[in-house]
Copies of this chain bind each other. A is one copy, B any other.
Amino acid sequence: MKEFEEKTIRTEHIYDGKIVKLQVDDVRLPDGKTSKRELIRHAGAVGVIPITKDNKIVLVRQYRKPLEKALVEIPAGKLEDGEDPRVTALRELEEETGYRADSLQFVTSFYTSPGFADEVMYLYLTKNIEPVDDAAAADEDEFVERVELTLEEAKQYVNEQKIHDAKTNYAILYLESLERM
């Protein structure tokens, strides 16, 4: 198969933030011409599909500033530098929901938007989780509300676009596929 590599001629660093970095690369295309590529650098993220003993999916409702509205999503968070994604996943689950898990099962990983960003998302499943009294607190600029749904309710949330993001839509489709197996 062809590689179609685009060689970097020059990189312009535009912004270096807490969540994203933005750079614009001048690239040499396979036909020898040049073009520009706008690139977002992101540390990567994890999402956890948490299922309680009574078979509810534990989700979080959170205001999403880019959309100027709240979405209901699986617990998720950004990878810290050099951190094992499983460690991030267990921490975010506890901080955002008050549930603690002992183990995680890898589901899949994917780039969220490979046309312009390098963010990769690792998805895990955990079952039979239980709430704990001494749960770690969420980040101080993070306000989330726990929402527990049956799979049928979650599918309805997808239809109503209350659930409306890649990792959570994937998670609900994945849980549906497990039910049918």
Further contacts, 17 of them, CB under 8 A, given A66-B118, A110-B168: A14-B15, A18-B36, A20-B116, A33-B140, A35-B141, A39-B65, A42-B116, A64-B115, A67-B111, A108-B158, A109-B161, A109-B164, A110-B165, A110-B166, A114-B165, A176-B177, A177-B180
Chain A: interface residue total (CB-CB under 8 A): 75
* A25: interface (CB < 8 Å): yes
Q: Is the contact region of chain A dominated by helix, strand, or loop, or is it mixed?
A: mixed
In the complex, what distance in Å separates the CA atom of A24 from the CA atom of B40?
14
Q: Is the CB of B114 within 8 A of A71?
A: yes
Copies of chain A in the complex: 2
Q: Is the CB of B166 within 8 A of A166?
A: yes
Most buried by B among A22, A169, A180: A169
Which residues of B have CB within 8 Å of A166? 110-113, 121, 166-167, 170
Are A1 and B147 CB-contacts (below 8 A) given A20-B22, A20-B40, A66-B40? yes
In the complex, what distance in Å separates the CA atom of A76 from the CA atom of B41?
21
